[in-house]
Chain A
């Protein structure tokens, strides 16, 4: 069981490049987490340190209070599936990848794995090197789900998969999570598609934490306030909302604000003739991680 994950002032440097910069966050077990960030924001670095694939430059990662790095008791509970599900040699067949996983993974469910391979139409006789990109991703998903590891990490594991296969993945993930509750961390670019699967979302940028919150809370904080420009400005500035983006069309302005809008403020905005619309997670993400020159 993963009770909790604590990441404390985690820094990871590759030569001159700082991939993770004093990043701190905590997760409690038993939830599906989404990890969002732009390319190069440090997602894979973070997940690699979490799975003990990399040693941090400074700071630490603890799972259930125990340091993760080179801690066999902890790492055996983690399944880390990278982009295209790399696990064994390309020359091996899918069935030997299954045997290998059965040997390595204490909770491996071979029957479930077989069912998943069938669902994703991956032949057990195929050589891994000959699989298309999509089928390789599907293989990664099978290895990740059937491992039933207390902590399962999928790092953009959908490359090359078509929409029906991705939706099959989402269905399998949800169902298996409900039948065998455990902790999942999923990093993704396809935010709209998967955001509803997450309970909690972590957004990082330039190796730092931008925001972490429950999806529903995050969504309730992002709103587009639209109306005559002067009225919008008055409302937004009057309450000191954090404006994360604006757009203007003629005299109509739309300000994307981040902050709690209680019912009184909502009523006031409506009375002033303003339109309020919740922002989609994708929009929130884009505006919270937009290049702004200076880090605020």
Chain B
């Protein structure tokens, strides 16, 4: 089967600083992969390259199908009503029907004619997800989309993303620095450090996952990030 994402020997430098250092990565269709790492480890850069926002690289990064991305900020056009922001993803002026359906999926029915600036952070982020999903992407890139949300909204968003993923089955690449988030959502966790994939964890726990079920593996993933939980506790 064709890969959803295939990256080989990907290297990216900003001046003298190497941000990505020979990344090899393959993602299967429908697979949920989390890219985990500290700030500045290169995970967002990798996502931007896959989204086609940065082409000045060495090595290859191939994404054969349709790509969508949701950023940390919702990046909605404030002068367009919610439904028009979603139909923007369809790349045609019409498409209210599709937009309304997508809004229902992200549980925002009734906000179709609202202005984006009147939405809360979580609501705006859900619109941004809807906009990414109406394209029916083969690959969904999530660049810390929960990073700016409060803890409670974040929990709700985790469920929503898992739900949407289960329904549409795109390959997902989620960039995060939250270990629990990665463990709750991903099939596979890649730990990035200084531009390299330093560890891979397969998460075979049944879904939906509860916090308690991931505790054991959490310790091992944190160890790869250089955080010794046992010692800290």
Whether both chains belong to one complex is answered with no
On A, residues with C-beta under 8 Å from B are: none
